Structure formats: structure tokens, C-alpha cells
Structure 1
Amino acid sequence: MSEATTSATDVPVPALGSAPAHRDPNVLRWVAAYTASMLGDTVFYLALSWAAVQNGTPAQAGIVTAVSAVPRALLMLGGGVVADRFGPRRVVIGSDAVRCATVLAVAAVLFATDPGLWLLALLAVVFGTVDAVFMPAVGALPARITGTDQLARVQGMRGLAVRFAAIVGAPLGGLGVAVGGAAAAFACAGLLIAVSVPLLVSVRMRARPADDAAARDTTAWLDLVGGLRYVRRHRVLGPLMVAIALGDLGFVGPLNVGLTLLADERGWGASGMGWVLAGFGTGAGAAALLLTVRGRVPRAGCVAAGSLVPGAAAIAALAHAPGLSAAVGIAVTVGLLTGLSGAMCGALLQTQSEPAYLGRVTAVGGIVSLGVAPLSMPLSAAAVGVWGTGPVFAVSAAVCALGGVVALAAPGVRRAELPG
């Protein structure tokens, strides 16, 4: 199925290397759309959490806020198949429109009445289901809107968008709740997502290769199995997925649950934990800015894998920081190194994948990060209760470092380069 038939705006983008991504209006429109959508996501989850707390017990609120992760994890591989079969641009526009309409409809219901937790749980399930299609398509889009030599820069710009959404979205959602309750915050989220739709419509796409654009005779199930087989057999993608899984498993637990328990143990309080998180965000933002400005990074495979090892050492050191200021400095280092590794991994996934498989490759990476890694959070919390923060952070760091070792031991990853 040719995506060139989806709309009149699907015309060729400028030739490879003709314009840096941060100066390309086509890429900037996509970044603006992505930023608006991420802002909407941040406000949405804050509003969902607030509304759930107001309508139920803390345990019920936790279930409501977590329930969106279930369909997202279970259906994301199928979402990758959808993105590859119908084209990422069409899928992103359609899923963003559905997300917008759903959130605005719930906001209208909340303005009129108080339906209780059932509506919030249903909204979370719908949002997670659509996310399962939206996220692989979003990951597949950059390779279709710019040259492969600009993908590292686009990953940096995407990282900046995520940091901006995290910094601005939470206060914006809080303001919506303060002004008009959860209904106003949901309306704000819906309107932000709505901003992304016309911007996405205006984004121009590269023509798909002839073999990719040809009509498919296979079933969706065969496409899914073929995508998994493609990743497993690929000399770069296979070991890179293992490295991503180990890196995220070793990173998510300490940053989320472990950091909260560490701050409580050291007497830093909520404000101290906030400063440490700000340090991490600063480091990750600096890595994103570096890639945005610099663009191509030589020896990308070695950088992606090699930065995990010192990043893991910094994770272990965080549990032994002598004071809050030292912990903030270490968190900056963790953010910088893991942010650099993550951006390089994202760029390599896109440049090493054949266009026909890009949605499914992105979905596998999403399953690893959003489905496997969060499993470490309850395990980390339980382990800290038994052994304390120091040993748990050390084990987590070892798991993270193992990801770097696995990647460095794979010749395909070690020698991988981004197009120049």
C-alpha cells in the first residue's frame, strides 16, 4: 500500500543532507506537533491521577492510573504492524485525532456530571490502546521526514521536546485543576493534542521504496512474526534490543522507586528528591541539546554501548552520595550518559532498520522500555526493604552495565555508524 496516496501533502522532502534538521521547516513542524502531543499526554495523566484520587481510595486511584499500561504493553507489537502496513503518518494523525476526541468527550461529561471511577478507568484503557498504535508510528516517522544523516539530530530534538513537556506540562495541568478541576485539565489536554493534528497534516513525507510501497499479500500475524524474526536475526538490532532491555531494567527501578526511598532514608525529603530529579533532567536535556546542535556522532554504536558503563557506575555511586549537592551532581552525570546512550540507540534503530520493518522495530523497543523495564520497580522497592538502598543500587548498576557489555561484545553494534 503506497503512502503516497494518503494525501496531497505526501511529497518528497528535501534531498539528503540539503538542510540540517534543526533548520528544516518540515522537521520543525513535526517536532512542534510531537511537543504539543507530549504536553497533552503530561496534562492528561496529571488530570487522570487527580480525578481518580478525588473519586476513590488511593489504591483505586493507583489501579486507574496504571491500567492504561496494560493494553499499551499487550498491543504495541500489533501497533507496529499497523504502522508498517498503513504508513506512520496516517496512523499518527488518526490516533492523535482519536485521543483528542476521547479526552474532550470525557471533559464534557465531567463538566456535566460526576460519573465516578468507571469512566476514568475506561478512558485510561482507551488511551492506552490508542497509544499502542500511536507510539510505534511516532517512532517510525523521523526516518520518513528527513535524511538518515539527520536522525541523531532529530533524536536530540525529540529529547528536548520530552524534557520541555515534562517541565511545562505538570504546572499547566496543575493550573487547569486549580481553575476548573479535572474537567478543565482534561479539556486542556485535549486541546493540546488537537494542536498536533493540523501540524501533522502539513508534514511532508519521503516516498517509500517500491518494494515497501507494494501491496501486501501476507496476513497481519505473519507480519508480526516476521518483524520479530527480523529483529532477532539482525546483527545490530538483536543485540541492541538486549542492551536496551538490560539498560532500562537497571535504570528504571533506581530512578523511580529507589530514589524515593533513598531520599527518605537520607532525610532529603520531597524537595531533595525533586532536586535530584531536576539534576537528571538537566543532564538528559544537555545530551539532547548536544545532539541537536552537533548532529552526527562518530562511532555511534560504541558511544551508545560505552556510555552505559560509566552511567551505570554513576547509578551505583548515587546511593553513596555524601550529601544532597553531591547526589544532584551525580544525577546530572547519570542523565547525561544515559540520555546520550538512549538517543544513539534510537538513531541506530532507525538507520539500521529496513523501512518496511521500522514500525515493528520501534514497537519491540517500546515493549522493552515500557513493558519489561517497569517490572523492576516493585522488585526494587521490595529489595530495598530487605537489603537497603546501597546493595540494590549496586545490583541495578550491574544490570545496566551488562547491557553496555553485551552491546560492546557484539561486532555489529560496536562497528555501527550513523550515515554521514
Structure 2
Amino acid sequence: MAFAAIAFVSLLLIGIPIAFVVGLVSMGLMFDAGGARFMLLVPQRVFAGLNVFTIMAIPFFFLAAELMTASRAIEDIVKFADALVGRLRGGLAHVNIMASALFSTMSGSALADIATLGSIEIRAMETMGYDRRFATALTVASSIVGAIIPPSIILMLYASVAQVSVAAIFLASIVPGALLIGLLMMLVVLLARKYDFPRRERRYSAKEFMTISVDAALPLAMPVIILGGILSGVFTATEAAAVAVAYILVIGLFVKRTLKPSDIPGCMLRAGVMTSVIFMVLATANVFGWFIGLERIPENIAKSLIGVASDPVVLLLLIVGVLLLVGMFMDSGAALIVMAPILAPVAVSGGIHPIHFGIVMALTLVVGLTTPPVGPCLFAAASVSKLRIETISFAMLPFYAIQVVFLLMLVLVPEISLALPRMAGFIN
């Protein structure tokens, strides 16, 4: 395993894609354990990694987000966010956070948030007199809300890997998502007072507010349909994703008529490319997961960690430290797929609820999207804002402090994530 860890890091450092790194290391471990006999199992385990009904929701949710963007529904969402909070001191900063929160109910991805909203938000804030560094840092910090609130792709991956209820983990993410939004808005309030941020002086009339709300109502109804259908048992997460795509097609093509038939092939292509990246990692990681289960590696790690930290809170803090380090160098989705089979059994053995652990693990890795040296959200924001990574990272310091407070709250107060699924009867 020591040789495998060295090989893993070395292949990553020379730029080999994570899916192939996991696959090559896994095949090496399989051959070392059982020779050619075990190598015959590799294709079977690759297929088994993708032969899961739940993960079929992922391409549908990617496609739903692409169709939502192509139909220009995002403009209605930004206007609605501005109508709600634009009059506050630092209004556009609040709009940035609120728009990310609203768009996250459709995209499930932090990178999609920056790619779609980033240029709009940064340009608008800079025009209103905000410093570009602050505008970019806020856009990066608020983007991770997109990876928290349902339909979160990373939470769906955890549900698939750890074999927990998608409905329960989605429900468990709502309060943490709202908490992060609240913490970010509190920080903006403090900074707005200190630096006298501008606000929108013009008031919307009741008629204008009603028009904006009606325009935004149709796209914002999609998350209600998704969550409502899943939680009520009308359809599964995969069926909900397909319903979301059908809903957006009807709205875009026939109701608002902002989506052209010629836009659909491009949306499908982009969704297919994003899906293929995740599915390749899932397929190869299943080989790795099967091997570590065979070698009883999670049990051995559990014994070691529990021997060091028998208290569940201390154990979870140790795991968070490890995940923060991993998240600095690996994409959150890939890191979760690789690490969940190892750490989830450790957490459960230490007395941590699997749903609570899933929320903490996913959100810790999502924080890694915003941290150097390999934070994908930093690079995406740099390409949009034309700022250097170091400049954005320095401007992110107040938001890093908020993220640390957020993670500590999740670790120390499990009911933040467990209260809703417990009240709904999904967990005991």
C-alpha cells in the first residue's frame, strides 16, 4: 500500500487524469494480490461501478442545468435575487450569494455556478464600484453553495458509494446550505459597514416586483418538483432528474420560448462530457473499493484512528483535517469516490451517523474546491475575472475563516444535518 500511495501521488503530479491514476494503481494492487486471476475481475468491477440505478440521475441533472442556462432562466433568477436583497447595504454582494443559492437548486455544481453566474456577477459588482478582488472572492465562496443544496452531485455520489438514502442525504443538506448562506451574508453585512458598500437606490414598485417574481417562478418551481417528488415517494432521484429535464424542455420550448431546438444538441454534448469524467472515476474507483474491502483496509484504519481518538467528535475532526488536505490537491467528486469507501466505515465504527458523516465529508471536500494550489473554483474564477490565483486566494481569507467556522459547527452539532431527515422519518 505504501508503494501504491507513492505511485498514486507521482502519477497525479505528472498530470495523469485521476480516473486513469485510480485505474492503474488499482490494477497494480489487484495483480500483486492475485496475479492474472484477479486481473480477470477488473472488467467486472468496472461494469459494477456503473451498473447503479441511482447514478443515472447525474447526467440528467447535468443536462437540466445546461438547458436551464441555454433557456436564459438564469437572468430571471438574478433579477429575482436583486428584487429580494438588492436594496440592502452591499446589495449586489447579497445578490451574488442569493443568486448562487437559487441557481444551486438546479445545477448541483459549484463549477457550474461560476461558469454560469461568475462573469455576470463580477462584472455587475465592478460596475457598481466593488473591488474586483472582493467580487471574485465572494463569487468563489458563494459558489460552493451549489455543491451543497439539492440536487447536489457530490451528495448523490456519496449516497451511491456509501449506500445511503438519496432522499435522506438531500434533506440533511438543506439546513447546512441555509447556514452557509446565512454566514456569508453576515460577513457581507460586516464588510459593508466597514467599507461602505453601495446599494441599489431605486425601489421596485409592487407591479415590477410581481412581474419579476412571476418570471422567476417557473424555473424556481423545478427544485420543488424534484425534492417534493423524491421525499413524497412519487419518484426516485433518477426519475426526478428525468422529470426535471422534461420540465425545463417544456418551459424553455413552449412556455417562455427562450430555448431553441438548435441549442439542445450542444447542451447534451456538454452534459455528456461532464458525465463521462465522473463515470470514468466511478468505474475505476469501484475496482479500488473492492480491493480495499478484500484487504480489510477500512477496518485496520478504523482500529488505528479509534485507538488515537475514541471520541466521535475528535475522530471526525481528524478525518476533516485529512479531507481538507486531500481536497487541496484532488477534485471533490474524485476524492469522495476514492476516500468514502475507506473513511465511511471508519466513521460508522467510531459512532458517527453515516448521513452526518456524508454531509461533513462532502462539504469538507467542497471547501477544497476554493483552496490553493489546485482549487478548481479558483481557476474558473481566475479565467472569468482575469486575476491571478494568488490574488484571489489572498482576497478569500475572510471567507476561509467563515468556512472553518462552518465546518466546526457541522462537526460539533450533528443535529444541523440530522434534524430534518430524522423529523421526516428517514433515519432513527
TM over 0.5: no
Tell me the TM-score normalized by structure 2.
0.30
Tell me the TM-score normalized by structure 1.
0.30
